[in-house]
Amino acid sequence: MPAEIIDGAAVAAKVRAEVARDAAALATRGIIPGLTVVLVGDDGASAVYVKAKEKACHEAGMHGETIRMPASTTQAELLAVVDGLNADPKIHGILVQMPLPKQIDPQAIIRRIAPHKDVDGFHPVNVGKVLIGDSDAFAPCTPWGALVLMQAYNVSTAGKECVILGRSNIVGKPMASLMVQPGVDATVTVCHSRTKDLVSHLRRADIVVAAIGKAEFVTGDMLKPGAVVIDVGINRVDDATAKAGYKLYGDVHFPSASEVASLITPVPGGVGRMTIAMLMKNTVRAASMVLA
């Protein structure tokens, strides 16, 4: 039987409705949740993504703004902007869009953002809090969104074998941190480019989270029958027949994997839809902390 498709758009819409409700409640108490995104340079994909974030803020009744800076911006100039946002009480969430121009050290920028405004969840303080299960943590939006998708579809995680493909700071490592927390209770294996006999790990996995950035790398014959497959990958592959000149593919070969899995996320329409929704949720929570 073909896998049930996890509808990321529907779950994201539900999360965003909850965000709008919570933002409205805060507004009655004089607090308008505010998110500022800083975009340095003119990367086309980043510009589209940033525009979507600003639109999502406005739809939720939040304050959303974008600060655009030229590609020639120095690290000192960007740090000064971050310092100003840290000090602005109307701004509850700060996100500096990656990638940054080569003259700027991204870690220096991430570490400068006040942890209580780090709604992207990449500051070392939040990374550590996620790892130890601190309830004050801001979890990175993509892995948190992947977990929320599993929960929305009542995926049993306790005691299950979860294999994560990829060890990035953006998805792989925080995904592992989230999956081992009490209440989730998965047994986690993180695989990467130096893993030996990768397929043997995949074939015993009850849950596979693919986040390695290789189009259609995971095929159906690598999976355990009935596995839950969460495809985080978004890969642009040139295709002259497509209107945009390219098509989007996940890290999983959907046609073959969907014949083996029990649940699977599509690309697009899966995890990607959750990222902005969880960013909005983090921002509203950051605003609510003002009342604490």
C-alpha to C-alpha distance for 53 and 39, rounded to whole angstroms = 12
Does residue 110 sit within a domain?
yes
88 carries an active-site annotation: no
Active-site choice (22, 53, 129, 251): 53
Dig out the tokens for 249 from the structure. Answer: 């593919």
CATH number at residue 73: 3.40.50.10860
- Whole-prediction pTM: 0.95
- Mean pLDDT per 10-residue section of the chain, whose length is 292 residues: 94 97 97 96 82 92 96 98 98 96 97 98 97 96 98 98 97 98 98 96 98 96 98 91 89 98 96 96 96 75
CATH number at residue 260: 3.40.50.720
Does residue 6 sit within a domain?
no
Does residue 255 sit within a domain?
yes
Answer yes or no: do 159 and 244 share one domain: yes
> Residue 77: its pLDDT value, please?
98
> Residue 49: its pLDDT value, please?
84
53 carries an active-site annotation: yes
> Residue 50: its pLDDT value, please?
86
Answer yes or no: do 161 and 261 share one domain: yes
Cis peptide before 268 (omega within 30 of 0): yes
Answer yes or no: do 171 and 110 share one domain: no
Answer yes or no: do 268 and 179 share one domain: yes
206 carries an active-site annotation: no
Active-site choice (22, 97, 117, 224): 97
Provide the domain limits for residue 228: 141-274
Q: Looking at residue 218, what DSSP letter applies?
A: B
Does residue 1 sit within a domain?
no
Active-site choice (22, 117, 118, 120): 120
> Residue 196: its pLDDT value, please?
96
Q: Please answer whether residues 278 and 53 qualify as being in contact, where contact means their C-beta atoms are separated by less than 8 angstroms.
A: no
Answer yes or no: do 83 and 155 share one domain: no
Looking at the DSSP bridge assignments, the partners of residue 249 are: 235
Answer yes or no: do 159 and 266 share one domain: yes
Dig out the tokens for 275 from the structure. Answer: 């990222």
> Residue 242: its pLDDT value, please?
86
Dig out the tokens for 30 from the structure. Answer: 């004089």
Does residue 196 sit within a domain?
yes
